[in-house]
Amino acid sequence: MKVLVTGGAGFIGSHLVDALMERGYRVRVLDDLSAGSLKNIEQWLDNSRFEFIKGDMRDPNIVKEAVEDVDIVYHLAANPEVRISAQSPELLYETNVLITYNLLQAIKDSNVKYLIFTSSSTVYGDAKVIPTPEDYGPLEPISVYGGAKLAAEALISGYAHIFEFHAVVFRLANIIGARANHGVIYDFINKLKKNPEVLEILGDGTQRKSYLHVSDTVEGMLHIFEYFKKEGKIYDVYNLGNEDWITVKEIAEIVSEEMGLNPEFRFTGGVDGGRGWKGDVKFMLLDITKAKSTGWKPKMNSYEAVRRTVRELLKA
């Protein structure tokens, strides 16, 4: 089986590539290296089962070339930064919605049988039901990033039903681990390296969210995809997250402890009732009952995942 991983040199993508290569797949990666790095996949570059294409998915011709002779597409390419919602909606549209449209146009004229898409918990917005199940509605994203992810989901569903391929969507909690190059843990470590005395924390520190280690994420995606194939559905959606959640202040305490520091915490106070930035979902906990019903469950809880990630990033 030949697999295409878009965004395969990025944080989650490269861990997925490792797992697919270790399982014996032929893997092609398409990545423009804007957020990813060849260093993340360097161990595979000389392998005969591996192929790398450097290209921008905003170019439909590059995408068409990438899906040739491919059976399965894992679509992870996207701009991963939620916080640019206010500054650059057009970039979020191009690097989430437009590239997904280009991919779907290429898939409909190809032999691709399965598409796996990494969406986001941000599609739920400020959910009134917590933990939030997949069938929660109405979906009201509060950031352009969340809106772009939801638009991509809708396009995928439409194309899968009309052009008869199978698609599964994973709505991810906050994914953390080695190779992460953005997010709260990465930010805290860099801030404390610059100034070990004071740690600025965006918001009021009470933001509480679910965190899933990238190893559990990849294991979940691969396991649930096999289950999805056996079920034979055209389209399905799964939440992937943890059963517990952790506050930003608790994350700051773990990072400080692991770095052997005791900084003063300075909270910015945030916006809109203590959010880190406009469009930041303050409380997020996904209901993972459906994912667990397939036989998958996370090996680490949020606290364990955070601590392990701090150690991995400090070692890098």
What DSSP designation does 276 have? S
State which residues form the domain around 117.
Answer: 2-175+211-240
The last residue of a domain, from among 189, 220, 240: 240
Say what the pLDDT of residue 80 is. 76
198 and 96 share one domain? no
Q: Tell me how far apart the alpha carbons of residues 180 and 172 are, in angstroms, rounded to a whole number.
A: 15
pLDDT tens sequence across 138-148: 999 999 999 99
292 and 202 share one domain? yes
CATH code for the domain of 277: 3.90.25.10
265 and 142 share one domain? no
Q: Is residue 16 within a helix (H) or strand (E), and if so which, with residue range?
A: helix 11-22
Contact 296, 143 (CB under 8 A): no
Contacts of 124 (CB under 8 A, 6+ apart): 132, 136, 139, 141, 146, 171, 281, 284
Per-residue confidence band for 84, with pLDDT thresholds at 50, 70 and 90: low
The last residue of a domain, from among 240, 258, 292: 240
234 and 304 share one domain? no
Mean pLDDT of the chain: 96
Q: Considering its fold, how many domains does the chain have in total?
A: 2
83 and 196 share one domain? no
Q: Tell me how far apart the alpha carbons of residues 211 and 222 are, in angstroms, rounded to a whole number.
A: 19
82 and 170 share one domain? yes
Residue 61 neighbours by CB distance under 10 Å = 10
pLDDT tens sequence across 162-189: 999 999 999 999 999 999 999 999 999 9
Establish whether 235 is a catalytic residue: no
The alpha-helical segments, DSSP class H, found in 83-239 are: 89-92, 99-108, 144-163, 184-194, 214-231
Q: Tell me how far apart the alpha carbons of residues 27 and 16 are, in angstroms, rounded to a whole number.
A: 10
First to last CA, the chain: 33
pLDDT tens sequence across 238-260: 999 999 999 999 999 999 999 99
Token pair in block for residue 42: 């360097």
35 and 102 share one domain? yes
Token pair in block for residue 135: 């069938």
229 and 288 share one domain? no
165 and 279 share one domain? no
108 and 80 share one domain? yes
110 and 226 share one domain? yes
Q: How far is CA 83 from each of CA 25, 64, 88, 173, 199, rounded to the nearest angstrom?
A: 35, 31, 9, 16, 19
Say what the pLDDT of residue 175 is. 98
Q: Which of 175, 210, 198 is nearest to 12 (CA)?
A: 175
Backbone angles phi, psi at 82, to 5 degrees: -60, -35
pLDDT tens sequence across 254-287: 999 999 999 999 999 999 999 999 999 999 999 9
Q: Tell me how far apart the alpha carbons of residues 156 and 117 are, in angstroms, rounded to a whole number.
A: 9
- Mean pLDDT, residues 3-13: 98
**Catalytic, out of 145, 159, 211, 235:** 145
Per-residue confidence band for 87, with pLDDT thresholds at 50, 70 and 90: low
Q: Tell me how far apart the alpha carbons of residues 149 and 283 are, in angstroms, rounded to a whole number.
A: 19
Per-residue confidence band for 85, with pLDDT thresholds at 50, 70 and 90: low
Say what the pLDDT of residue 72 is. 98
What DSSP designation does 123 have? G
Token pair in block for residue 18: 């490792």
Say what the pLDDT of residue 208 is. 98
130 and 256 share one domain? no
What DSSP designation does 133 have? P
Give yes or no for residue 116 having a pLDDT over 80. yes
Q: Tell me how far apart the alpha carbons of residues 257 and 263 are, in angstroms, rounded to a whole number.
A: 10
CATH code for the domain of 217: 3.40.50.720
Q: Which of 8, 120, 129, 125 is nearest to 72 (CA)?
A: 8
